[in-house]
């Protein structure tokens, strides 16, 4: 039912009540007939009026929801186009800089303290940012594979990846997944994207912690979701920086001097949102961080 028809229905209901009461008064030969039937007729017309009002309210809410969804879709499409343009614009300058550095290195000092060392590090950082931007754009646009994913297998693999990272062997990395009296339910998702998200979280936990720190990968079932947590006893994040941790290219003040693109958590959130889940993060400086992913079960 379109908007014009709803308005016509409501107008007819509004006009029908006084018309019906007037007709009853005019045509009823007996006042008792009028007294008996006019209230019932009035109630019926008021019910029609109420129904018309409900239809209008439901229609208005639906239009608001459709407009909000359309705005979200347009914003997501624009964001994807921006990431693609940025990736394209950075790619060619990076290639030129790498070639220039290679030519200069043939005649200059290529040692770690040489004049080209700092430039090379910045070029490498830009390359990491470009690569992660490309990944982020792909995550937001690629078709999502839907297969049954065993979370325990993912966490075990992520734990092994963490131990193989530089400095990973110096951290106490453990995996905790309930197996009795029944295992975790599976997820309907893309195993490659979920693996990428967990690798980013474990990588962050290793990078932003010190030797001897504990890193726990754990999972449990809660209200139809599988909850995955990556917790560490590392540096933590300042309270004033927590609201922006999921934003792109944002790095905390304590992350300075540590290699990274500032896109790791944005990648994680993009993966989780594509799977219909949500992300949470809790942290205390000098105590540690817990990142929680809530993913719907199959």
Percent of the chain with pLDDT over 90: 41
Residue 213 confidence (pLDDT): 97
Highest mean pLDDT among 19-23, 59-63, 189-193: 189-193
Query: 56: pLDDT confidence band, cut at 50, 70 and 90?
Result: confident
- Please give the pLDDT value at position 57: 76
- The pLDDT assigned to 118 comes to 61
What is the pTM assigned to this prediction? 0.64
Find the mean pLDDT for residues 11-25.
55
Whether the CA torsion 267, 272, 278, 284 is positive or negative: it is negative
**Domain extent listing, the chain:** 8-67, 147-297
Q: What is the pLDDT of residues 92-149, one digit of tens each?
A: 666 766 676 677 666 665 555 555 666 666 677 677 777 777 788 788 878 888 999 9
pLDDT digits (tens, 9 = 90+) for 225-251: 999 999 999 999 999 999 989 988 777
Over residues 189-226, the pLDDT tens digits come to: 999 999 999 999 999 999 999 999 999 999 999 988 99
Sign of CA dihedral 202, 208, 213, 219: negative
Instruction: Please report which confidence band the pLDDT of residue 294 belongs to, taking 50, 70 and 90 as the band edges.
Output: very high
Residue 63 binned pLDDT confidence (cut-offs 50, 70, 90)? confident
CA torsion angle 89 93 95 98 (round to 10): -150
pLDDT score, position 186: 93
pLDDT at 175 over 90: yes
Of the options 3.30.565.10, 3.20.20.70, 3.30.1490.20, 3.30.450.40, the CATH number for the domain spanning 147-297: 3.30.565.10
Query: What pLDDT shows up at residue 53?
Result: 76
> How many Å from the N-terminal Cα to the C-terminal Cα in the chain?
36
Which among 157, 163, 255 is positioned nearest to 206, based on CA atoms?
163
List, as one string, the DSSP characters of the chain. Answer: --HHHHHHHHHHHHHHHHHHHHHHHHH-SSHHHHHHHHHHHHHHHHHHHHHHHHHHHHHHHHHHHHHHHHHHHHHHHHHHHHHHHHHHHHHHHHHHHHHHHHHHHHHS--STTSTTHHHHHHHHHHHHHHHHHHHHHHHHHSPPP-EEE-HHHHHHHHHHHHHHSTTGGGSEEEEE---SSSPPPPEEE-HHHHHHHHHHHHHHHHHTS-TT-EEEEEEEEETTEEEEEEEE-S----GGGGGGTTSTT---GGGTTS---S-HHHHHHHHHHHTT-EEEEEEETTTEEEEEEEEEB-
């Amino acid at each position: 039912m379109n908007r014009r028809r709803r308005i016509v229905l409501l107008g007819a209901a509004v006009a029908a009540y006084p018309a019906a009461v007037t007709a009853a008064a005019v045509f009823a030969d007996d006042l008792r007939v009028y007294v008996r039937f006019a209230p019932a007729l009035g109630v019926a017309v008021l019910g029609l009026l109420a129904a018309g009002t409900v239809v209008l309210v439901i229609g208005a809410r639906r239009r608001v929801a459709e407009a909000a969804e359309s705005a979200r879709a347009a914003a997501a499409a624009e964001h994807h186009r921006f990431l693609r343009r940025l990736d394209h614009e950075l790619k060619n300058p990076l290639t030129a800089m790498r070639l220039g550095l290679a030519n200069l290195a043939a005649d200059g000092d290529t040692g770690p303290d040489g004049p080209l060392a700092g430039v090379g590090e910045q070029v490498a950082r830009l390359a990491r940012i470009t690569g992660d931007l490309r990944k982020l754009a792909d995550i937001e646009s690629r078709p999502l594979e839907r297969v049954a994913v065993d979370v325990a297998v993912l966490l075990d693999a992520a734990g092994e990846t963490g131990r193989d990272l530089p400095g990973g062997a110096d951290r106490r990395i453990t995996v905790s997944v309930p197996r009795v009296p029944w295992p975790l339910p599976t997820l309907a998702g893309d195993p490659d994207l979920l693996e990428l998200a967990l690798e980013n979280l474990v990588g962050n936990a290793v990078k932003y912690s010190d030797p001897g720190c504990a890193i726990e990968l754990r999972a449990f079932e809660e209200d139809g979701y599988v909850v995955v947590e990556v917790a560490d006893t590392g540096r933590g994040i300042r309270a004033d920086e927590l609201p922006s941790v999921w934003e792109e290219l944002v790095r905390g003040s304590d992350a300075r001097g540590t290699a990274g693109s500032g896109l790791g958590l944005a990648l994680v959130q993009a993966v989780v949102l594509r799977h219909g889940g949500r992300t949470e993060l809790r942290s205390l400086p000098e105590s540690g961080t817990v990142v929680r992913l809530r993913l719907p079960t199959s």
